[in-house]
Amino acid sequence: MNYRYIAIRLLQTVPVLFGVSVVVFIIIHSAPGDPVVNMLGIDVTEENVAELREIHGLNEPLYVQYVNWMGGILQGDLGQSLTRERSVTALIAARLPATLFLAVVSMLIAIVIAIPAGIISAVYKGSGSDYAVTVGSLTGISIPNFWLGLILILLFARTYSFLPPGNYVAPSEDPVAALRHVALPAVTVGTAFAALLARQTRSSMLDNLNQEYVKMAKSKGLSSRKIFVRHALKQALLPVITVAGLQFGYLLSATVVVEQVFAWPGMGRLIWSAVQQQDYPTVQGTVLVVATLFVLINLVVDLTYSYLDPRVSVS
Amino acid sequence: MSGESASSGPGGESSEPSDSTREGAANPTGFRRTWRGLRAHPLAIAGLVVVSLVTLVGIVTYFDDAFLENALIKSIYYSPFDPKFAPLQGPSVAHPFGTDTLGRDVLARTIYGAKVSIQVALTAVLVAAALGSPLGVVAGYMGGYVETVVMRTVDVMLGFPALVLAIGLVAALGFNLTNVIIALGIVYVPQFARIARSTALSVSNEEYVDAAKALGYSRPHIVLREVLPNCISPLLVQASLLMAFAIIAEASLSFLGLGVQPPTPTWGQMVSDGSGYLTSAPWISLFPGSAIFVTVLGFNLLGDGLRDALDPRESADRRF
């Protein structure tokens, strides 16, 4: 285990997270209009506005507001929603499990489909299976996920009642129902992800099948199966893990849109409704949490990669 | 020896006539070489045809809207008080893609949607390329503090899932065409900066850059005339692939109601409008959705073909 690499990667994450928080803060505070006036509506007195600005600390200079916001974040407080009678932290805590459940199931579906498809495509290069995976992959990358979701609803949810069009059920409450409800949204989110992974798996597998050590194994008389599984596959999956991790951000982006199609009560819908209602503290908090998740997942991917391949260095 | 003559790397141009004459057909110019490479991939040509058609439709629609008051493409906006008002009509000769809930012709609106999609995607990618490429090239060539500052900023930008950052930006800027372009342009800057930097790093070690240095050319001259032109190939491939992403991102923002606002038709917004009528009038969502799919597929095929043509290391054998 390369502890120096781990320590440096952890240290590198800190300024990135700081930068992310600054960018989120600047973007949201550059929004035109007064969030307090937006919140109170037209029939409002100056006293009401002043009182609310005081409550939310909006009279302070911008850097003080940032320091206060960061101070709150370090204590787990992301501020107060302007339109709901709840804290942003509570809103996110209620929505995050649904998004993570959707993202994880989507990722699993994608991995289960994409890795075997990519391997078959590489091993039987130029065959009918290779062609089918090629076409499927290009289609998967090009199809807009919200449109695919609608088509799946039209094809399956209206015909087969065992595949409902969304509506989150917590896995802790009823695991079977949870899986039935997540099936269509997860396939929708996972399709493009599976397509990307299949391309990466095929490319990586082809690279490894042409390596010297594979030729050496062949010349030693090892069976094709052993060569694929013991040698080529193990090496080929390393870059696939990296791509899978790096593309988790794509999954989070995709859930924002797909949650809307399937009325999925996750972070995406929270961001969407907060933007519509100009609830800036909620937009700020949710975007920060999603970005932080993304950065941390990338960190975990890097560390996993360094564990699997000790040659990886900081440079 | 002129600065131009030092540019003899990939994609570079030689100012000496004897060189170009000598190279002739055996080593054709960048455009010819790219075209030859593209022709070897029938799918890339199919992509080029789709992209050209959609772009042409977008240009015609732009002129129709800007100068002809929608004379060519009528019934984009339809009044319910019009005597011809016929909502939710299925595909027919009069309305090949049917009509929507307000009796508007879905074909006309799908054609008009091409204008917004191409306009947003093309401008956003151009903005991103114009900002990101010089930043990346300068970072790669200069190194040191400049590189650290640029690349750490890029790292922060890449810390956001693209669509989430775009939503944050349009929420702050407002929902209209210009702001969607600005938001997507900013979101894609890091992609260009990263590729430009890595290419500039390898180009900086080429002999023609050393020759330019030895001849006493200034740093801006070397960056603009020697390094940047030789980074164009990978940036062009990236631009083509990002066009596909930008079209989907614009459509996603419109679908969420956070992009270009009605009554201007956009593909994403049309899919969203039809989502409530999936069983009774599926054509409202189906046709604009197909338009997004075909256009994005076209850009992906073209991007893959360009990559094969411009980067021989990434041969088609290794990818789809």
Tens digits of residue pLDDT in A59-111: 888 889 899 989 999 998 998 888 888 999 999 999 999 999 999 999 999 99
Considering only residues A243 and B135, tell me which one the structure prediction assigns the higher pLDDT. B135
Evaluate whether A255 touches A267 at the Cβ level (below 8 Å). Answer: yes
How high does pLDDT run on average in chain B? 81
Q: Alpha-carbon distance B286 to A295, whole Å?
A: 36
**Contact between A253 and B164 using a beta-carbon 8 Å cutoff:** yes
**Contact between B159 and A17 using a beta-carbon 8 Å cutoff:** yes
Q: What is the pLDDT of residue A105?
A: 94
Confidence bin at A313 (pLDDT 50/70/90): low
**Percent of chain A scoring above 70 in pLDDT:** 94
Res A129 pLDDT > 80: yes
Task: Give residues 27 to 86 of A whose Cβ lies within 8 Å of B.
Answer: 27-28, 30-32
Res A41 pLDDT > 70: no
Cis peptide before B234 (omega within 30 of 0): no
Query: Three-state SS across chain A?
Result: CCHHHHHHHHHHHHHHHHHHHHHHHHHHHCCCCCHHHHHHCCCCCHHHHHHHHHHCCCCCCHHHHHHHHHHHHHCCCCCECCCCCCEHHHHHHHHHHHHHHHHHHHHHHHHHHHHHHHHHHHHCCCCHHHHHHHHHHHHHHHCCHHHHHHHHHHHHHCCCCCCCCCCCCCCCCCHHHHHHHHHHHHHHHHHHHHHHHHHHHHHHHHHHHCCHHHHHHHHCCCCHHHHHHHHHHHHHHHHHHHHHHHCHHHHHHHHHHHHHHCCCCCHHHHHHHHHHCCCHHHHHHHHHHHHHHHHHHHHHHHHHHHHHCCCCCCC
Mean pLDDT score, B29-42 = 75
Q: What is the pLDDT of residue B318?
A: 43
Res B282 pLDDT > 80: yes
Res B4 pLDDT > 60: no
Confidence bin at B10 (pLDDT 50/70/90): very low
Which residues in chain B are contacts of A276 at CB distance < 8 A?
257
Q: Using a CB–CB cutoff of 8 Å, tell me whether B143 touches chain A.
A: no
Q: Name which of B291, B278, B299 is nearest B251 in CA terms.
A: B291
Which residues in chain A are contacts of B282 at CB distance < 8 A?
154
Q: What is the pLDDT of residue B73?
A: 65
Res B14 pLDDT > 70: no
pLDDT in tens, B138-180: 998 888 888 888 988 888 888 888 898 999 899 888 889 999 9
Q: Name which of B234, B196, B223 is nearest B10 in CA terms.
A: B234
> Can you say whether the dihedral through the CA atoms of A33, A36, A41, A43 is positive or negative?
negative
Evaluate whether A262 touches A149 at the Cβ level (below 8 Å). Answer: yes
Considering only residues A170 and A5, tell me which one the structure prediction assigns the higher pLDDT. A170
Taking CA–CA distances from B251, the nearest residue in chain A reads: A144
Res A261 pLDDT > 80: yes
Task: Give residues 284 to 313 of A whose Cβ lies within 8 Å of B.
Answer: 287, 290-291, 294-295
Which residues in chain A are contacts of B173 at CB distance < 8 A?
30-31
Q: Name which of A58, A63, A60, A71 is nearest A25 in CA terms.
A: A63
Which residues in chain A are contacts of B171 at CB distance < 8 A?
27-28, 31, 275, 278, 280, 283
- Flag the least confident range among A3-12, A300-309, B187-196: A300-309
Q: Alpha-carbon distance A58 to A281, whole Å?
A: 11
Evaluate whether B126 touches B132 at the Cβ level (below 8 Å). Answer: no
Q: What is the pLDDT of residue B244?
A: 92
Our CA-based measurement puts residue A267 at a distance from the nearest CA of chain B, in whole angstroms, of: 11
Mean pLDDT score, B93-106 = 85
Q: What is the pLDDT of residue A117?
A: 93
Res B30 pLDDT > 70: no
H/E stretch holding B65: helix B42-67
Q: Using a CB–CB cutoff of 8 Å, tell me whether B56 touches chain A.
A: no
Strand, helix or coil for residue B99: strand
Mean pLDDT score, B61-83 = 68
**Percent of chain A scoring above 90 in pLDDT:** 32
Q: Alpha-carbon distance B108 to B53, whole Å?
A: 16
Confidence bin at A42 (pLDDT 50/70/90): low
Confidence bin at A312 (pLDDT 50/70/90): low
Task: Give residues 145 to 174 of A whose Cβ lies within 8 Å of B.
Answer: 145-147, 150-151, 153-154, 158
| Residue B274 CB-half CA count within 13 A | 37
Mean pLDDT score, B39-47 = 85
Q: What is the pLDDT of residue B204?
A: 83
Evaluate whether A130 touches A210 at the Cβ level (below 8 Å). Answer: no
Cα-Cα-Cα-Cα torsion A227, A232, A237, A242, nearest 10 degrees, comes to: 170
pLDDT in tens, A273-310: 998 888 888 988 998 998 888 888 888 887 877 777 76
**Contact between B172 and A290 using a beta-carbon 8 Å cutoff:** no
**Contact between B171 and A275 using a beta-carbon 8 Å cutoff:** yes
Using CB atoms, which residue from B167, B268, B272 is nearest to A256?
B167
Using CB atoms, which residue from A151, A153, A253 is nearest to B161?
A253
Q: What is the pLDDT of residue B11?
A: 34
**Contact between A144 and B156 using a beta-carbon 8 Å cutoff:** no
Which residues in chain A are contacts of B172 at CB distance < 8 A?
27-28, 30-31
Evaluate whether B285 touches B274 at the Cβ level (below 8 Å). Answer: yes
Q: Alpha-carbon distance A118 to A137, whole Å?
A: 10
pTM (predicted TM-score) = 0.85
Distance of CA B26 to the CA centre of its chain: 32
Instruction: Note the maximum CA span of chain A.
Output: 87
pLDDT in tens, B220-240: 888 888 888 888 888 888 888
Q: Alpha-carbon distance A290 to B166, whole Å?
A: 13
Mean pLDDT score, B240-264 = 92
Confidence bin at B17 (pLDDT 50/70/90): very low
Confidence bin at B78 (pLDDT 50/70/90): low
Q: What is the pLDDT of residue B210?
A: 86
**Percent of chain B scoring above 70 in pLDDT:** 82
- Among A17, A26, A121, A146, the strongest candidate for a mutation testing the B interface, having the largest count of B CBs within 10 A, is A146
**Contact between B300 and A138 using a beta-carbon 8 Å cutoff:** yes
How high does pLDDT run on average in chain A? 85
Res B13 pLDDT > 60: no
Mean pLDDT score, B77-83 = 60
DSSP notation for B246-308 = HHHHHHHHHHTT-SSPTTS--HHHHHHHHGGGTTT-THHHHHHHHHHHHHHHHHHHHHHHHHH
Mean pLDDT score, A235-242 = 77
Neighbours of A86 (CB within 10 A): 13
**Contact between A253 and B162 using a beta-carbon 8 Å cutoff:** yes
Res A150 pLDDT > 50: yes
Q: How many CB pairs lie under 8 A apart between chains A and B? A: 149
